[in-house]
Amino acid sequence: MDRAQMKEKLKTKLSPKRFEHSIGVEYTAGTMAFIYGYDVNKALIAGLLHDCAKYVPGDKKITKCLKRGLSVSDYERKNPELLHAKLSAAYAKEKYGVADEDILSAITWHTTGKPGMSLLDKIIYIADYIEPNRNVLPEMDMIRKEAYSDIDKCLLHILKNSVEYLDNKGSVIDPVTRETYEYYVKTAIKS
């Protein structure tokens, strides 16, 4: 299935607002890939499909993940919306014919991040945060500039803001997100 066919199919599955967000992530991922010398088409596909399972209700996300042998942590059981990333990777493979492991990884980790992210993982994580249709969050202008000039600085900035926001709100943070943040803080200190 080519990207145009993927787009047509995706449009029938997502709400208009979520589809618009996916188009924004697709565009942003493509521009970032171009800047960083990465395969633009792979970035476009990952950006387009990153939320392709977002429409599945929370309780069904758990069932559908377990049916596919995908791990579901205790945190994810309590917050099943987070499972849309893993399930979207599975759907990208099953329903959109994506076999590329780099694309599937970027979709899988676009919500929490993970220690040792690939360039495409970083691009999709950041593109999801900064795409033009996204609500403007604190320091968004600075983060958007960093996205095109220093991807690692941008990644750490987003992780820091996310962790601080959730800590200040008194929310429990997905352990993978905190582990990712701590990994990149240590990486930044070493460099």
Which tens digit of pLDDT belongs to each residue from 149-160? Answer: 999 999 999 999
Domains along the chain with CATH numbers: 3-136 (1.10.3210.10)
Binned at pLDDT 50, 70 and 90, residue 164 comes out as very high
Above 90 in pLDDT, residue 5?
yes
Do residues 103 and 121 make contact, with C-beta atoms less than 8 angstroms apart?
Answer: no
Which tens digit of pLDDT belongs to each residue from 43-67? Answer: 999 999 999 999 999 889 999 999 9
Token reading at 52: 């392709």
Whole-prediction pTM: 0.95
Pairwise CA distance, residues 30 & 40, whole Å: 5
Percent of the chain whose pLDDT exceeds 70: 99
Distances (CA, A) of 21 to 24, 51, 167, 176, 190: 5, 9, 26, 24, 35
